[in-house]
Amino acid sequence: MTNIEADKQELNGEKFTCPYCKVELSFRRSGKRQLENRVIDVSPYFRLEKGIEHEGNCEYNTFGQIEIITHKPMALKEFMEKKKKDQYAIRLQVVKKAMAEPPEEEEEGTTANPKGKGDASDKNYKNRGSMSPYLSRMKDIMILRSKMEENEDVKKHLKLEYKSKTISWDKFYFGPEYKDFLVLSKYFRNKPEPKHPICIEGMVKEYQIRTDRKNKKYNSFMLEKPYVKDTDTEGFRHVPSVSLNIYEEHETLIDYMVDNYKKHNKQIIAYGDPYVKINTSTQNNVKYHNITIWINRTAQVHLFNNVYVKLFGE
């Protein structure tokens, strides 16, 4: 039974078992999430009870999935290192170095549409460059984390390192719940921008074509802002405002993002170097924490579409 089918039958709280290892699962129906100026639907999902894991040979077992990623054909020594029997370490400085490589991308395959044109949302792109495979593995890890309930579910198996420091997963992966964005906002308020890459999950609200100070055009994909009620001692609400920006020369990447947006595939995860600027609005007593990640490779982003394909019949 899929999450959509279970939701239609109003099976909230019902018990299910994993089809692969028979561990017990509970089901949570679709609901509502309050954003800054509107309410959106939250997709239904299955979840494990707290403290329970899928069995070792199950395809949903966290460490089993990590092992699959490490066994993909590439040299991982610089990027990942096995620390313990059930734990690997990821070196984020290698990810940062790989992102600095000139991004050259080529189409790997295309699904043609009835009009004879390739739809960018159905294309696969291959990142080129000596370090680009590290970015692809980072994307695999990002997708794996997005399937979990919280950071606790992954951090015991994957340790994050940046040079000589250990980075907490709570300081690396943010979203999609509003409370995670508030943690991100506080992280930037209390210290300078972190030098390590971060990962953000959210919903694309809209996109605009903008121009930077050098008159260079880029597409800005803005995520939904969370609803923030609390105020600081001066009466200001602190609202994180996240944008994923892509310069116009990355045409295939922009086409991929825009085509998915038009097909209602708006749930996204992305990683990269964060930049922050705080703008204060005295008119409505809000301090906007404008957080930007620049994207120049498809390996930095992943758009979820399974749920939306089923809901909209596309």
- Please tell me the chain's helix, strand, coil percentages from 3-state DSSP, rounded to the nearest 5: 25, 35, 40
The pLDDT of residue 76? 64
State CA 9 to chain mean position distance: 30
pLDDT band with cut points at 50, 70 and 90 for residue 312? very low
For 274-313, letters b (16+ CB in 10 Å) and e give bebeeeeeeeeebbbbbbbbbbbbbbbbbbbbebbeeeee
Residue with the bigger pLDDT between 276 and 252: it is: 252
Average pLDDT over residues 291-309: 79
Parallel, antiparallel or unpaired: strands 198-211 and 173-174? parallel
User: Does 248 score more than 90 pLDDT?
Assistant: yes
Question: Which residues 6+ apart lie within 8 Å of 184 measured at CB?
Answer: 174, 175, 198, 200, 240, 289, 291
Per-residue model confidence as pLDDT tens digits over 124-165: 555 555 677 889 889 988 888 887 767 777 888 899 999 889
Q: What secondary structure letter does DSSP report for 142?
A: H
Find tokens 């979203």 and name the residue.
175
Q: In whole angstroms, what is the distance from residue 293 CA to residue 270 CA?
A: 8
Within 10 angstroms of residue 104's Cβ, the number of other Cβ atoms is 11
**Per-domain residue ranges of the chain:** 3-48, 62-312
Sheet of 24-28, strand order: 15-17, 24-28, 45-48
Per-residue model confidence as pLDDT tens digits over 86-120: 888 999 999 999 998 876 554 544 443 434 445 65
Per-residue model confidence as pLDDT tens digits over 29-52: 555 555 555 555 555 555 666 666
DSSP string, 69-90: HHTSSS--TTTEEEEETTEEEE
Within 10 angstroms of residue 264's Cβ, the number of other Cβ atoms is 14
The pLDDT of residue 133? 83
The pLDDT of residue 91? 93
Residue with the bigger pLDDT between 178 and 198: it is: 198
Burial of residue 75 (number of CB atoms within 10 Å: 0-12, 13-18, 19+): exposed
Global pTM value: 0.74
Q: In whole angstroms, what is the distance from residue 188 CA to residue 168 CA?
A: 15
Q: pLDDT exceeding 70 applies to what percent of the chain?
A: 67
Report helix, strand or coil for 168.
coil
User: Does 237 score more than 50 pLDDT?
Assistant: yes
Which of 186, 227, 224 lies closest to 202, judged by CA? 224
Residue with the bigger pLDDT between 313 and 238: it is: 238
Helical axes 132-146 vs 62-70, angle rounded to 10°: 170
Residue with the bigger pLDDT between 120 and 179: it is: 179
Per-residue model confidence as pLDDT tens digits over 282-295: 999 999 988 899 99
pLDDT band with cut points at 50, 70 and 90 for residue 210? very high
Q: Is the dihedral of CA 98, 103, 109, 111 positive or negative?
A: positive
Tokens coding 261 = 């947006």
Q: In whole angstroms, what is the distance from residue 264 CA to residue 258 CA?
A: 10
Report helix, strand or coil for 92.
helix
The pLDDT of residue 155? 85
Torsion of CA 212, 220, 207, 248, to 10 degrees: 70
The pLDDT of residue 8? 41
Q: H helices of 216-284, where?
A: 251-262
Of 58-62, 70-74, 84-88, the range with the highest mean pLDDT is 84-88
